[in-house]
């Protein structure tokens, strides 16, 4: 998959050093994947939640952090929309 918005992961990793390894691992796995459907994501990330508009929420580090992406399955593109702590996520409106 092609991933857009990696700078958001890097910024979060700098702000929250404990999340850096987990975010890097997610990036590498997603980059090497070829998701065609939501089921492809669910096979690997059972706790992933799916929203309207092909948005997916990933729990990072046991749900301490959340990652919101938009997946364009036909094009093989993942656009990172937001990443931060679970507390920050609770204040967001998606």
Q: pLDDT tens digit string along 17-63?
A: 999 999 999 999 999 999 999 999 999 999 999 999 999 999 999 99
pTM, rounded to two decimals: 0.93
Give the long-range contacts of residues 18-21, CB within 8 A, separation 24 or more: 18/61, 18/64, 19/60, 19/61, 19/64, 19/65
Give me the residues paired with residue 85 across strands: 65
Query: Residues 17-28: pLDDT tens digits?
Result: 999 999 999 999
Specify the pLDDT at position 80: 98
Confidence at residue 93, expressed as pLDDT on a 0 to 100 scale = 72
Name which of 58, 81, 60 is nearest 70 in CA terms. Answer: 81
What are residue 63's phi and psi, to 5 degrees? Answer: 80, 15
Report d(CA 7, CA 51) in Å as an integer: 23
């Amino acid at each position: 998959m092609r991933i857009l918005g990696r700078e958001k992961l890097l910024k979060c990793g700098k702000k929250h050093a404990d999340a850096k390894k987990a975010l890097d691992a997610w990036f590498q796995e997603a980059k090497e994947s070829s998701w065609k459907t939501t089921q492809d994501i669910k096979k690997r990330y059972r706790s992933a939640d799916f929203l309207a508009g092909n948005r997916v929420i990933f729990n990072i580090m046991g749900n301490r952090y959340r990652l919101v992406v938009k997946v364009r399955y036909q094009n093989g593109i993942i656009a990172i929309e937001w990443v931060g702590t679970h507390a920050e996520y609770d204040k967001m409106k998606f």
